[in-house]
Structure 1
């Protein structure tokens, strides 16, 4: 007679554990791979943003570009940080300690890239009477269109245009400001800073944002001459816009700031004549936002030397060694003398392209010459920050610019 099978052992052991199906295992591996990819991206951004220059030859410029893009990527950073923390929670449940640690660290790094610039901007805002707004920071840019667009000159068959932004409720006569766009002397457009130009118009100024001829060929004299031509056009047509022709200022960002200062500092200089028939006259004031001021040291000062050298070579027609006189002549610092117009120099302390040493050198020279100078250094702020008009740097900039205009531009 056969004995009954003993089921006590089977009952005590319970059912055998079920292994994950193949599709689930594949999805899990893909998920972990995606998480590691996000972690790596955050780390690369963090190292570029918080780290100093890395001597990697051409790659040095690429690292700096990544750092410059971080302030524009707050929303993706929030998403990446959330993914990192979510992955860390899942890793904790699955007892995957390496993934857990990496997720926590990546999430913290993403948070720091958002928090540190805000904290620094908050301190700067208190110093300049600015009120920071997260709503403005995240708001979509307004669509801005000029009130008019005119041709201010035709040179070598090339039409040069000017966009005009007027105050909504102008006084009998208003001051004017000519705005010169940046772009490394070889790019950029007159409408790329439209939000800033509209803001200036809202302060009661008539704003004239201009074209100029771009490199290459070398435009180191032509571009300055075009800016002077535009200044003359504004004065000649002042009555059409309710402008006081004796109260015309000039401003620009990056390469445009250098051109603005050159036009302001070289009145009646035979080496930099206007490119059209017009009389020159001193401007009321000049502003240079993250502008190079000494072209002979720009590349050496820069954390993006390959980019700086390329821009300069196209603009000036050769290297510093080959065209030293052009580099010196095209540096606003070279032309500092007593009697220049009040100058505002704005610099981002984290600018990888144009070092703060550029603005500081010009400010010191102007002060020594007795020229009224306002210097504004913005912490954790990168090159081109005014393109993000709701960003922290721009929010701190605005009241400082308003104060400068209030002091030096009669309205």
Structure 2
């Protein structure tokens, strides 16, 4: 029988999944969600820059062999909220599937604006390429994954070579990401974060579609009203029309937060996000 505490936790998570809540509210999910066993956090707060926000954690399977494939996971939060501590549930879920998982923080609005958070993402990947072998990961097998604004960062780093890490990224998974979303809503989060860019096209991952991009898996819920599913559809088409490799999966009945919560144990039955993402990355990052 489910305990009262577990029932209350599940009720709270269900309310969160159904709500149009800011992603910052997900910071409590770790306390409410039963974690995946057999994994551990092996690095806490490693610095990849001088700012207090430029820190990362590393998660890995317990007693794992060396040279595992690596996922760098970028959380969302409208470029203005979030912290790595709130996403241990996602890191544990992925590490339990056989990856070394890196979760970096990055600087946020209003401390910074475009392109600082993308620069931080690039710096984190450079840290991974230089250091992950010492933590059981294979620097030749780095994939990226992100949700919402984190997917935006992950896909820009994968597609736009100007950030200096595209060649290190061998595959990318986006969860409910904004990839083609101009014009910005006046006064909205995107305008605040990205509106200062000299050329707004530079803020759009679709602008950098190329045939030699790393393989992409773009996952979206068909009931996402925060970031419309067309973002995933049009980016995948732009890549495939050029001869590249990109696949889109739309999950029925899933919204913007629900696709992320599907990585957690209580909600994996809602959509096979964890299985689809991990199987794709395991295949693309095979030794």
Q: Please give the range of the TM-score, normalised by the shorter of the 2 chains.
A: 0.7 to 0.9
The Cα shift of 1:387 comes to 3.1
| 2:77 aligned partner | 183
Contact 1:378 1:393 survives alignment (8 Å): no
Could you tell me how far apart the structure 2 residues matched to 1:154 and 1:406 are?
30
Segments of structure 2 that go 5 or more residues without pairing to the other structure are 1-16, 22-31
2:241 corresponds in structure 1 to 368
Q: Tell me if 1:387 matches 2:261.
A: yes
Given candidates 210, 213, 224, the residue that maps to 2:104 is 210
Once the 2 structures are TM-superposed, how far is the Cα of residue 394 of structure 1 from its aligned partner? Answer: 5.5
Matched, 1:347 2:198: no
Q: 2:180 aligns with which of 294, 305, 309?
A: 294
Please list the CA deviations of residues 161-215 of structure 1 after superposition, one character each: whole Å capped at 9, or x if unmatched.
Answer: 1111012242331111111110000001113232121111111110000011101
Structure (1 or 2) with the larger CA radius of gyration: 1
Indicate if the aligned counterparts of 1:192 and 1:387 stay in contact, CA closer than 8 A. Answer: no
Residue segments in structure 1 that go unaligned for 5+ positions in a row: 1-64, 70-139, 274-278, 300-305
Q: How does 1:10-409 map to 2 (within 5 A)?
A: 68=20, 141-142=33-34, 146-155=41-50, 157-267=51-161, 269=162, 272=163, 281-297=167-183, 299=185, 310-317=188-195, 326-385=199-258, 386-387=260-261, 389=264, 390-391=266-267, 395-409=271-285
Structure 1 residue matching 2:235: 3-state secondary structure: helix
Structure 1 residues 158 and 191: CA distance shift in structure 2, 3 A: closer
Q: From the superposition, tell whether residues 392 and 177 of structure 1 become closer, same or farther in structure 2 (CA, over 3 Å).
A: closer
For residue 13 of structure 2, what is the aligned residue in structure 1?
Answer: none
RMSD: 2.5
Q: Distance in 2 between matches of 1:351 and 1:280?
A: 28
Alignment partners' CA distance in 1, 2:70 and 2:247: 20
Give the whole-Å Cα distance in 2 for the aligned partners of 1:392 and 1:340.
30
Inter-partner Cα distance in structure 1 for 2:90 and 2:52: 26
Contact 2:149–2:177 (8 Å) recurs in 1: yes
Higher strand share: 2
Q: Alpha-carbon deviation of 1:402?
A: 2.8
Task: Measure, in 1, the Cα distance between the counterparts of 2:18 and 2:138.
Answer: 44
Say if 1:394 and 1:327 are closer, same or farther in 2 by CA, change over 3 A.
farther
Normalising by structure 2, what TM-score?
Answer: 0.81
CA contact (8 A) 1:342 1:372 kept: yes
> Structure 2 vs 1, CA of residues 224 and 285 (structure 1 numbering), >3 Å: closer, same or farther?
same
Are 2:210 and 2:242, in contact at CA under 8 Å, matched by a contact in 1?
A: yes
C-alpha separation in 2, matches of 1:394 and 1:162? 29
Task: Give aligned pairs, total.
Answer: 256
C-alpha deviation, 1:159, in angstroms: 4.6
**Structure with more relative contact order (C-alpha pairs < 8 Å, separation 6 or more):** 2
Deviation at 1:370, TM superposition (A): 1.9
Q: CA deviation at 1:160?
A: 1.4
Listed one character per residue, the Cα deviations across residues 111-137 of structure 1 (whole Å, up to 9, x for unaligned) are xxxxxxxxxxxxxxxxxxxxxxxxxxx
- Find the counterpart in structure 1 of residue 286 from structure 2: 410
